[in-house]
C-alpha cells in the first residue's frame, strides 16, 4: 500500500511531464495541455477529490492577492524583457519565436482577443497543471522541507521551460527562469494558486501589451544601448 502511494504520483508526474515536454518541443503545446487536463481530471475523479486541493481555495483577501499579482507580474515581465530574454538569446544564439503574436502589433482588437484567451484559458490551465497539480504531486513525494521545495521548483520549472520549446532554445531558458519565480511565489503563498494565476495573467498582459506597441524593443534598446 505504501509503495503504491508513491508509484502512482511518480507515474502521474512522469506521464504528464513527458506529454507536456514532447508536445512543446514539437510545437503542439495545445495538445499537451488538453491531454494533461484530461489526465488530471480523471485523476481527481478517481480520487474523489476536488479542485481546491490544486490550490484553488479562495484567498483570505482578494484585493491584496490581485494587487500583489499585479506588482509581481509587472516586475517579472519587465525583468524578462530587459534582462532574462536578451541574456537567454545571447547564451543560446537564437531569437525568441513570437510569431504567434505578430498580429497583435498595432492591433487593439487582436490584443483584446488575446486578453480573453490569456485570462480565461492560459493562466488557469497552465497554472493548474504546472503549479497546482505537478508541484502538489511532487510535494507529496519530497515533502515541504527546504530541499524538497527547492527540488520541486527546479523540476517543475524545467518541465515548464521545455514545454515552451516552440519559442526556440532561448524561450526554454527564459520561460524556465520565469517558472522558477512563479514556483517561489506559489510556495510563498502556501500553495494557494490564486496569486500565481494573477501574476501569470499580468505577466502575459504586460508582455503582449509591450509587443503590441513595440515597447519590448524600446526597453531592450534602452538597456542594451551600449552594444
**pLDDT tens figures, 112-127:** 999 999 999 899 999 9
If you average pLDDT over residues 175-193, what whole number do you get?
97
Name the residue ranges covered by the structural domains of the chain.
Answer: 2-223
Spell out the residues 6+ positions from residue 135 whose beta carbon is closer than 8 angstroms to its own: 152, 153, 156, 183, 186, 191
Say if residues 104 and 114 touch (Cβ distance below 8 Å).
yes
pLDDT greater than 70 at residue 226: no
User: 76-82 long-range contacts, Cβ below 8 Å, gap at least 24?
Assistant: 76/178, 76/181, 76/199, 76/203, 77/202, 77/203, 77/206, 77/207, 77/210, 78/206, 78/219, 80/174, 80/178, 80/203, 80/207, 81/207, 81/210, 81/216, 81/219, 81/220, 82/219, 82/220, 82/223
pLDDT band for position 3 (cuts 50, 70, 90) = low
Instruction: Please report where in the chains the cell 531569437 appears, as a residue.
Output: 95
Q: Burial of 152 by CB count in 10 Å (0-12 exposed, 13-18 middle, 19+ buried)?
A: buried
The answer to whether residues 152 and 135 touch, using CB atoms and an 8 Å cutoff, is: yes
Digit-coded pLDDT (tens) for 44-91: 999 888 878 899 999 999 999 999 999 999 999 999 999 999 999 999
pLDDT score at 39: 96
Q: Would the CA dihedral through 84, 27, 180, 189 be positive or negative? A: positive
Measured CA to CA, the distance from residue 216 to residue 60 in angstroms comes to: 35
> What pLDDT is stored for residue 113 in this prediction?
94
Alpha carbon distances (Å) from 124 to 18, 60, 200 = 20, 19, 9
pLDDT range class, residue 4, cuts 50, 70, 90: low
Per-residue pLDDT band for 225 (boundaries 50, 70, 90) equals confident
Q: How many residues does the chain have?
A: 227
Look at residue 174 in the predicted model and tell me its pLDDT.
95
- Please give the Cα distance from 20 to 23 (Å, whole number): 5
Residue-wise pLDDT tens digits, 163-178: 999 888 999 999 999 9
Q: Which percentage of the chain shows pLDDT scores above 90? A: 78
- How many helices and strands (H and E) does the chain possess? 11, 0
Amino acid at each position: 500500500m505504501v509503495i503504491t502511494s508513491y508509484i502512482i504520483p511518480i507515474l502521474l508526474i512522469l506521464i504528464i511531464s513527458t506529454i507536456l515536454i514532447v508536445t512543446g518541443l514539437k510545437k503542439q503545446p495545445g495538445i499537451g495541455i488538453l491531454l494533461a487536463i484530461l489526465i488530471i481530471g480523471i485523476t481527481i475523479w478517481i480520487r474523489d477529490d476536488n479542485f481546491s486541493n490544486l490550490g484553488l481555495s479562495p484567498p483570505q483577501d482578494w484585493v491584496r492577492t490581485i494587487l500583489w499579482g499585479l506588482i509581481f507580474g509587472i516586475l517579472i515581465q519587465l525583468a524578462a524583457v530587459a534582462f532574462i530574454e536578451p541574456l537567454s538569446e545571447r547564451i543560446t544564439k537564437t531569437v525568441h519565436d513570437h510569431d504567434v503574436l505578430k498580429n497583435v502589433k498595432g492591433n487593439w482588437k487582436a490584443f483584446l482577443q488575446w486578453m480573453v484567451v490569456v485570462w480565461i484559458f492560459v493562466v488557469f490551465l497552465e497554472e493548474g497543471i504546472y503549479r497546482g497539480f505537478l508541484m502538489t504531486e511532487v510535494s507529496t513525494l519530497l515533502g515541504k522541507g527546504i530541499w524538497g521545495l527547492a527540488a520541486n521548483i527546479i523540476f517543475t520549472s524545467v518541465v515548464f521551460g521545455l514545454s515552451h520549446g516552440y519559442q526556440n532554445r532561448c524561450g526554454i531558458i527564459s520561460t524556465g527562469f520565469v517558472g522558477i519565480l512563479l514556483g517561489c511565489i506559489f510556495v510563498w503563498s502556501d500553495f494557494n494558486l490564486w496569486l500565481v494565476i494573477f501574476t501569470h495573467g499580468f505577466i502575459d498582459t504586460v508582455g503582449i501589451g509591450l509587443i503590441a506597441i513595440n515597447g519590448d524593443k524600446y526597453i531592450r534598446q534602452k538597456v542594451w544601448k551600449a552594444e
